[in-house]
Amino acid sequence: MTSPAGRPTQPSIRVAGLDDVDAIVALTNRAFLSEQFCVTGDRTDAADIRGRFASGLFFVIDDPAGGTELLGSVFCSVEHSRGYLGLLSVEPAAQGMGYARRLVEAVEQYCRDADCQFLDITVVNVRNELFPFYARLGFGAMDVLPFPVPERARQLLHLIKMTKPLRSPAQMSSDRQPLGA
């Protein structure tokens, strides 16, 4: 895709619908093939993705070549003042092109608009290449959680919960001041 000035344009991000479930499943499983050394089986299936629509939404980037293929997807949910980002997936051949960063930014904006103060993610402890990526995006390790499906683990696994503040400390303290103060 090119702009009227002849420069390449980035495909737009949209909110996915239930008609995107199969494409999200396929993309997510391709993107998470890199975890086969530590986790057995596919990362997700249609029932899992459909179920996530009940508690959140997916942002997706369509492949500009058309069809039902996606270049990227990410799950987002909000609970109270915290947002959650999960299943960040980019087509393996398109990784390193900025799509993951754009999807994370879309989730951040959505969560800010929902008045979230923090955005959380969980990362499998052995995915060492992901920690610097998320650190560059402002996430820091906050907690260790049990691996949710230990029967699928090929080795001892746990999750690292990483958190990013979405509002400055000044914004958060001003939110707590009574009206008229």
Decide: pTM greater than 0.85. yes
Do 86 and 74 form a contact (C-beta atoms < 8 A)? Answer: yes
CATH no. for residue 89?
3.40.630.30
50/34 Cα distance (integer angstroms)? 23
In a domain, 7, yes or no: no
In a domain, 124, yes or no: yes
Which residue range(s) make up the domain with 89?
13-169
pLDDT in tens, 135-181: 999 999 999 999 999 999 999 999 999 999 997 656 655 555 554 44
Structure tokens at 170: 């000044």
Domain count, the chain: 1
pLDDT in tens, 30-50: 999 999 999 999 999 999 999
169's enclosing H/E stretch is: helix 169-175
